[in-house]
Structure 1
Amino acid sequence: MSLTDAHRDFDKSKPVAETRPQGITIMATDITKQYGAVQALKGVSVDFHAGEVHGLVGENGAGKSTFLGILAGRVAPTSGSVTAFGKTILGGSPRESRAVGIVAIYQELTMIPARTACENVFLGQCPSSLGLVDYRGMRKRFLELCEKFDVRIAPDARTDGLPIADQQLLEIMRAYQSSAKAVLFDEPTASLGENERRKLLELINQMKAQGTTMAFVSHHLDEVLEVCERITVFRDGAVVASRPRSEWNKRQLVHEMLGNELDSTLQQRPAKPSRTPRELLKVRDLAVPGLLYPVSLTVRAGEVLGVAGLVGSGRTSLMRALAGLEPATGWVEIDGREQGAPRTPRASRAMGIALIPEDRKGQGLVLGRPSASNVILGDMPAVARLGIFQDRNILAAAKAAVAEYGFDPARLRTPARDLSGGNQQKLMLGRWHHARPRLLLADEPTRGIDIGAKTEILAALRKSALEDGLAVVIVSSELEELLVVSDRIIVMRDGHMVDERDCHNDQIDVKTLLHSAFAVQTGEHGAEQMQKES
């Protein structure tokens, strides 16, 4: 359960309304897609109805995104047919799909960084008068959309300076503005906080009532079960099951997605260490003006510290301050050597600190470079021979670094942009395994990846702590993940560290963390407060 999902317990927001489907609007029949020797889709047939949200789930690489790409015209099928609103779509032309009323909101944001928020919302649909762009009308409509969605984004703000969550909202506003007949959502809530998520679900409710056709792809299975009327499961490029929501539960979805039960490594909490290891990291009064107020904490060698809290609570500011990406004050001690908070990423790396950022594509990977090159970026001199880089040395070092993370070494020559989210995250893990830091910071390491890859990523982080003696700090919105992977958990709220729990010795569960995150009091008076807030 994530903090955003669980906030429904403290919120009076209405559930998405049930509606009766109004007939088939899109029908995909026997779709195949071949990429050389790889068959990405194998005879997929799925239909979509007006006024219905149809969930598509499956592991990364199962074929969901390829299928959405075909519906949106971004990908041409090798064979098969798609009929949308009475017209046949040939595929391979986004303009053709948009012309019949299909709009896609991709997990990979399609913002133009150097343009303003307003311009990005109206890309391809700018209002005009006498052949000239009506900037005044465009700005007025933008402000109307912001008011409708209760969004506070300045129309003239450059998009590359906005948080990921705000950019995601701009994508949604663009789709709404286009008056689409069908909207394809690909991980729409992955970067949203609770307020933004609630607005999106309210918007979905409105679009259902208007008869809009919707496809909804998400790795948050609780969310899929909440919002969708029908759910179709993809596995290895094929549809393996498709049933009404009432016939599914989470365990059944996982079983169909993986063909087996969830890995047992995530079914129980980590074992309590047999001895108390030394303190590897000590943080004293770490602060970032306006974002993070003096925080002091410790992390031991071989320990995983989880960080919980709402979006904007200071979780990411804490990680960025330790990584030298924020103008922080305070003191950081690693392996007994204390110095001021790092002012640059270079200074942080020199201290032995490494970061896996929340935005792995925008801040972590060089997407156009081969996977092997991305792995060695953490320590390039280790691969050079007399100042010269040779492919065989790069490949050998990268292969050794990613071997224990289940990454296929045959894909080390593949550009990072062509990998699934799970494999991209494994590259980041491999990079720091190659570089051997002392402290590893992982900010939302399982965001946007499938349930099988989540298991591997979290198990790999624990293994790095236990076997390599690292101190590992993990930020995650998924509270169950923190509970099963962490030795201790701290809770952030409004830039302050407000709680700390020992997962081995304290009574701790999801509700405990939620009470701290939402400032809900416990006991008799706490129950009274919860009732008032809900």
Structure 2
Amino acid sequence: MKAANDASIAVSMRGIHKSFGKVDILRGVDFELREGEVHALLGGNGAGKSTLMKILQGVHRADAGEITINGEPANFHSPSDATAAGIGMVFQEFSLIPSLSVAQNIFLGREPHHFGLIDDRGLNRQARTLLDRMGADIDPRSLIGDLPVGYWQLTEIAKALSMQARILVMDEPTASLPYSEVEALFALIARLKTQGISIVYISHRMAEIARVADRLSIIRDGRRVLTDTVSAVPPEQVAESIVGREILHGFTRTTRDTDTPREITLSVENLTAGNRLDNVSFKVAAGEVVGLAGLIGSGRTELARCLFGIDRADSGRIVVDGTTINPRRPLDAIKSGVMLVPEDRQSQGLVREHSVRTNLLLPSLTRLTRGPFIDDNRGRDLCVDLTRRLGIRTTAIDQPVGRLSGGNQQKVVISKWLGLGEVGVPPRVLILDEPTTGVDIASKTDIMQLVLDLADAGTAIILISSELEELLAVVDRVLVMRQGRIDADFARDTIPDEESLQLAIQGV
């Protein structure tokens, strides 16, 4: 029987404990979600917020504690139990099939049938009704693969709502969205709230929390440390509660010496690659941090891939330290001192099933050999030094890297290039493509400080980021890309604020 005073409580989780082996992940966590509320769930990588939501989704079972949904006790044994209780999940990584239509993705496995055959007309009609309810102007017959990424996100939400979800868990929902589509998502969230949908909003982006959330809860080291209305908690208190210490620098502008003449490390001249890059030219000096800004599809990642030898350029020159290089594969770029931290660390930057040590040493193996054998002692010493220098939190260097938090995984991706420098191939040009996506505020601060430290040591840095606050905090110049071209080149001191840069990116 639902208690009268629980009428407005969509989810109540009380005293939730969860351990994996001897490691305590959640230690008596309380969490409450009200009807029609957006409740931001915050915490550093590895704090326990994902585990808490997986318990709510039926992926894991709590060791102790109680869960009620709309006042009724819940005891989920599987994700299907959670779905039946009205809980939907919108993951950061999309689960859609590009070759199927919007409608087919929404109702995959639950299609309406007529005389034993799939009723395509009925399928599209149901999808249209659902999308209209969301205020989403999408043709349900369109192939997902032909649509911008923002429509993928809306389709994921429609898929959850099609299962009668009244509670949505959104995990970093804006991570892959350009600015214009973020605004569309926020408008949809506001619309869903008016329909009584309750939303748990997981994000590392502080500005978003202020825009979209009513309340916030912060988890640190498996314990809830704060719950309050968003308006009552200053941003600096949010950051300090997440990290557990005062954030001294945050993302304030770092003043650097840009007046002293420096040697040019990287020169790119008229680089062209199919319809991806069109006559791109720019230079980066030793110790300079150059930001690449632009919308998704503007050519930023495509440029990084060409410089690193993943993709081939049709024409143009790449010059590193005065020597023309023609990277036909990543190994060629690495030998020239050009190194890349890719946008997708999971599939491109790490071998997730292998250990932290193996991932750190992969680029350096040929220089860690004695005759036909690998010098294990030297390799282990190098790994221990790198994990200590970058603050990589791991139970052991032989732990599978896939079990680390997102921030620690990203530090491993960066550290392997620093490790290569320790054995004789220092990075001359380091390209970082969206290095802080899905990373907590403490790790973001560490990574941005590392960027500055490497630049101070003479490395030429190219930083690709959609996080304009971070970009403006560390760069010396910003190149704005549009349709595969360098559309503008700004000295950092000529950009007054994020809004001005956003307008430049939009072409206004």
CA deviation map 1:208-244 (0-9, x unaligned): 1111111111111111111111111222211111112
Q: 1:125 to 1:372 in 2, by over 3 A?
A: farther
Q: Note the 1:341-380 alignment, pairs <5 A.
A: 342-380=327-365
Q: Which residue of 1 aligns with 2:323?
A: 337
Q: Which residue of 2 aligns with 1:259?
A: 244
Q: 1:500 aligns with which of 469, 489, 494?
A: 489
Contact 2:477-2:489 at 8 Å conserved across structures: yes
Residue identity in the other structure for 1:45: D
Residue identity in the other structure for 2:491: D
Q: 1:512 to 1:163 in 2, by over 3 A?
A: closer
Cα deviation, residue 272, structure 1: 0.8
User: Which deviates more from structure 2 when the two are superposed, residues 234-243 or residues 283-292?
Assistant: 283-292
Identity of aligned residues (%): 35
Cα deviation, residue 32, structure 1: 1.1
Q: 1:445 aligns with which of 426, 432, 435?
A: 435
Cα deviation, residue 326, structure 1: 3.4
Unaligned runs of 5+ in 2: 1-5, 422-426
Cα deviation, residue 285, structure 1: 0.9
Q: 1:80 aligns with which of 53, 61, 65?
A: 65
Matched residue count: 495
Matched residue SS, 2:340: strand
Q: 1:192 to 1:102 in 2, by over 3 A?
A: same
CA deviation map 1:146-186 (0-9, x unaligned): 7863458985567xx99876654443332233231111111
Q: Which residue of 1 aligns with 2:424?
A: none
User: Which deviates more from structure 2 when the two are superposed, residues 67-76 or residues 107-116?
Assistant: 107-116
Distance 2:479 2:403 in 1: 36
Distance 2:374 2:245 in 1: 43
Q: Which residue of 2 aligns with 1:272?
A: 257
Matched residue SS, 1:269: coil
Residue identity in the other structure for 1:420: S
User: Which deviates more from structure 2 when the two are superposed, residues 133-142 or residues 91-100?
Assistant: 133-142
Residue identity in the other structure for 1:456: D
Contact 1:22-1:211 at 8 Å conserved across structures: no
Q: 1:73 to 1:117 in 2, by over 3 A?
A: same
Residue identity in the other structure for 1:489: V
Unaligned runs of 5+ in 1: 1-20, 521-534
Matched residue SS, 1:287: strand
Contact 2:57-2:83 at 8 Å conserved across structures: yes
TM-score (norm 2): 0.88
Distance 2:420 2:207 in 1: 37
Q: 1:168 to 1:391 in 2, by over 3 A?
A: farther
User: Which deviates more from structure 2 when the two are superposed, residues 98-107 or residues 141-150?
Assistant: 141-150
CA deviation map 1:275-320 (0-9, x unaligned): 4221010001122333332121111112211112222332222222
Q: 1:126 to 1:189 in 2, by over 3 A?
A: same
Q: Note the 1:454-469 alignment, pairs <5 A.
A: 454-467=444-457, 469=458
Cα deviation, residue 133, structure 1: 4.9
TM-score (norm 1): 0.84
Q: Which residue of 1 aligns with 2:204?
A: 219
Cα root mean square deviation, aligned: 2.9
Q: 1:493 to 1:456 in 2, by over 3 A?
A: same
Distance 1:251 1:168 in 2: 30
Contact 2:55-2:61 at 8 Å conserved across structures: yes
Distance 1:513 1:255 in 2: 28
Contact 1:53-1:230 at 8 Å conserved across structures: yes
Distance 1:473 1:360 in 2: 17
Contact 1:254-1:262 at 8 Å conserved across structures: yes
Q: Which residue of 2 aligns with 1:515?
A: 503
Residue identity in the other structure for 1:83: T
Q: 1:150 to 1:345 in 2, by over 3 A?
A: farther
Contact 1:265-1:459 at 8 Å conserved across structures: no
Contact 1:139-1:155 at 8 Å conserved across structures: no
Contact 1:26-1:47 at 8 Å conserved across structures: yes
Q: 1:514 to 1:167 in 2, by over 3 A?
A: closer
Q: 1:326 to 1:419 in 2, by over 3 A?
A: same
Q: 1:49 aligns with which of 10, 13, 34?
A: 34
